Amino acid sequence: MHGQDFAADPHGIYAKMRAFGPAAPVELVPGVDATLVTEYQAALKVLQNTTDFSRDPRRWKALNEGLIAPDNPVLPMMAYRPNCLFTDGAVHLRLRKAVTDSLDRLNIGRLRRDVEPIAAFLIDQFSERGRADLINDYAKLLPLLLFNRLFGCPADIGDRLTSSMSAIFDGRDAVRANEELTACLMELISLKRREPGDDVTSWLIQHPAGLNDEELKDQLVMLMGAGVEPERNLIGNALLLLLTSGPSGRGGSMLTEEALDHVLWNNPPIANYATHYPLHDVDLGGVHVEANTPLVISFGAANNDPALREARQSLSKGAHLAWGAGPHACPAKSPATVIALTAIEAILNALPDLTLDAPAESQEWRPGPFHRALAGLPVRFTPTPGTRVAALQSPAQPTRSTAAEPPRGSTVPVPRQQARPARKGFWSTFLDIFRV
CA dihedral 214, 220, 224, 227 (to 10 degrees): 130
What whole-number percentage of the chain has pLDDT above 70? Answer: 84
Which helix H or strand E contains 24, and what residues bound it? strand 23-29
Beta partners for 289?
Answer: 282
Q: Count of H helices and E strands in the chain? A: 17, 10
Beta partners for 378?
Answer: 133
Confidence category of residue 307, pLDDT binned at 50, 70, 90: confident
Q: In what order do the strands lie in the sheet with 32-37?
A: 23-29, 32-37, 295-298, 272-278, 53-54
What is residue 412's predicted lDDT score, i.e. its pLDDT? Answer: 40
Task: Return the CATH number at 296.
Answer: 1.10.630.10
**pLDDT tens across 144-172, in order?**
889 889 999 888 888 888 778 777 766 66
**pLDDT tens across 249-304, in order?**
555 568 999 999 999 999 999 999 999 999 999 999 999 999 999 999 999 999 99
SS3 430: helix
Q: Is 422 a residue whose pLDDT tops 70? A: no
**pLDDT tens across 20-53, in order?**
999 999 999 999 999 999 999 999 999 999 999 9
Beta partners for 296?
Answer: 36
What is residue 414's predicted lDDT score, i.e. its pLDDT? Answer: 40
Beta partners for 295?
Answer: 35, 276
Between CA 421 and CA 330 the distance in angstroms is 43
How many domains does the structure of the chain reveal? Answer: 1
Confidence category of residue 389, pLDDT binned at 50, 70, 90: low
pTM: 0.87
Any residues with CB less than 8 A from the CB of 212 and at least 6 apart, and which?
Answer: none
What whole-number percentage of the chain has pLDDT above 90? Answer: 65
Spatial contact of 376 and 135, defined as CB atoms under 8 Å apart: yes
Any residues with CB less than 8 A from the CB of 415 and at least 6 apart, and which?
Answer: 404, 405
Q: Is 423 a residue whose pLDDT tops 60? A: no
Confidence category of residue 177, pLDDT binned at 50, 70, 90: confident
Q: Is 248 a residue whose pLDDT tops 80? A: no
H helices present in 364-414, as ranges: 388-392
Beta partners for 282?
Answer: 289
Query: Which structural domain range is residue 82 located in?
Result: 4-434
Mean pLDDT value of segment 227-249: 87
CA geometry: angle 319, 324, 328, nearest 5 deg: 135
Q: Is 374 a residue whose pLDDT tops 50? A: yes
